[in-house]
C-alpha cells in the first residue's frame, strides 16, 4: 500500500506545483520585481557615493537572468518542492491512518494537511516571516536559514508530542478534552521555542512596506494552495482507491 500512496502523493504534489506556479507568477513575481528594483536603486546610490570617494567597485556578473529566474527557475523549484512534499505527505498519511486518528481517508488527509500547514509553514513564519530575495545581508543567509529550520523542527516535534499526549488522554478524558489539551501543549511549546530563538530583522527601514506585505501575502497564498491541494485531492483519490479495492478485492481472489 505504501508504494502506491507514495506515487499518488508525488503525483498530487505535481498537480499542486502547477497551481502554486500559476499563483506565484500572478501574485508573487510582481512583488519580487519591485523588491529587485528597490535593491538596484540602493546599489546605484551606493555606487555613486563610492565613486565620489574614489572607490570604483566592479559589478558582479549576473549568473542567472531575471527572466529565467521568474520562468523555468521558478517552475522547476516549485515542482520539485511540491512533489517532494507530496511524497512526504503520503508517507506521513500511511503512518497515521487508522493509528493516530480514527477517520476516513478524506478526513485524515484534510486534517493532516491543515496540521502540516500550521506546524511546517504558519508557525515558523510567524517567528521568521518570508522576505523578498533582495532583503537581508548575504553574509547571514546560512544563519537565518538555520534558525528557520530550527523553528520548523521544534514545531514538528511539538506536534508529535501533542499527538502522543492526545492519544493517552483520550482514553480517560475523552476525545474533546484530549484534543484541547494537545492544542494547548503545542501552543505552549512553540511559544516557548519562539521566545528562546533569536529574532532576525534585516529589512531596511526604507523598504516599501506595501511591497513587503504583498510579498508575504503571496508567500502565504502559495503555501495555502499547495497544502489545500494535497489535503483535498490526495484524500479524494485515496478514498476512491480504497473503495475500489474493497469492491474488487473479493472478485479478484483466485
Return per-residue pLDDT of the chain as tens, 254 residues: 788 999 999 999 999 999 999 999 999 888 888 887 877 776 666 656 656 666 665 556 665 666 777 778 889 999 999 999 999 999 999 998 877 677 889 999 999 999 999 999 999 999 999 888 777 777 888 898 999 999 999 999 999 999 989 888 988 888 889 999 999 999 999 999 999 999 988 888 778 888 889 999 999 999 999 999 999 999 999 999 888 776 665 443 33
Rounded CA-CA distance 181/170 in Å is: 10
Non-local (6+) Cβ contacts of 13 within 8 A are: 82, 83, 84, 85, 86, 87, 89, 230
- Residue 254 CB neighbours (<10 A): 2
pTM: 0.84
- Residue 202 CB neighbours (<10 A): 11
Amino acid at each position: 500500500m505504501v508504494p502506491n500512496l507514495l506515487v499518488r502523493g508525488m503525483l498530487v504534489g505535481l498537480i499542486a506545483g502547477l497551481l502554486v506556479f500559476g499563483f506565484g507568477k500572478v501574485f508573487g513575481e510582481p512583488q519580487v520585481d519591485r523588491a529587485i528594483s528597490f535593491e538596484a536603486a540602493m546599489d546605484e546610490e551606493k555606487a555613486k557615493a563610492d565613486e565620489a570617494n574614489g572607490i570604483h567597485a566592479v559589478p558582479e556578473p549576473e549568473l542567472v537572468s531575471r527572466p529565467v529566474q521568474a520562468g523555468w527557475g521558478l517552475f522547476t523549484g516549485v515542482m520539485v518542492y511540491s512533489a517532494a512534499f507530496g511524497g512526504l505527505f503520503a508517507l506521513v498519511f500511511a503512518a497515521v491512518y487508522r493509528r493516530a486518528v480514527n477517520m476516513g481517508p478524506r478526513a485524515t488527509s484534510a486534517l493532516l494537511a491543515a496540521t502540516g500547514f500550521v506546524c511546517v509553514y504558519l508557525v515558523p513564519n510567524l517567528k521568521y516571516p518570508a522576505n523578498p530575495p533582495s532583503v537581508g545581508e548575504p553574509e547571514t543567509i546560512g544563519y537565518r536559514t538555520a534558525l528557520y529550520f530550527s523553528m520548523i523542527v521544534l514545531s514538528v516535534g511539538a506536534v508529535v508530542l501533542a499527538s502522543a499526549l492526545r492519544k493517552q488522554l483520550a482514553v480517560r478524558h475523552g476525545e474533546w478534552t484530549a484534543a484541547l489539551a494537545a492544542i494547548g501543549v503545542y501552543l505552549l511549546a512553540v511559544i516557548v521555542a519562539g521566545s528562546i530563538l533569536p529574532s532576525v530583522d534585516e529589512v531596511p527601514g526604507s523598504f516599501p512596506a506595501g511591497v513587503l506585505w504583498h510579498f508575504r501575502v503571496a508567500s502565504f497564498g502559495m503555501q495555502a494552495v499547495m497544502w489545500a491541494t494535497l489535503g483535498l485531492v490526495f484524500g479524494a483519490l485515496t478514498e476512491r482507491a480504497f473503495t475500489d479495492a474493497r469492491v474488487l478485492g473479493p472478485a479478484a481472489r483466485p
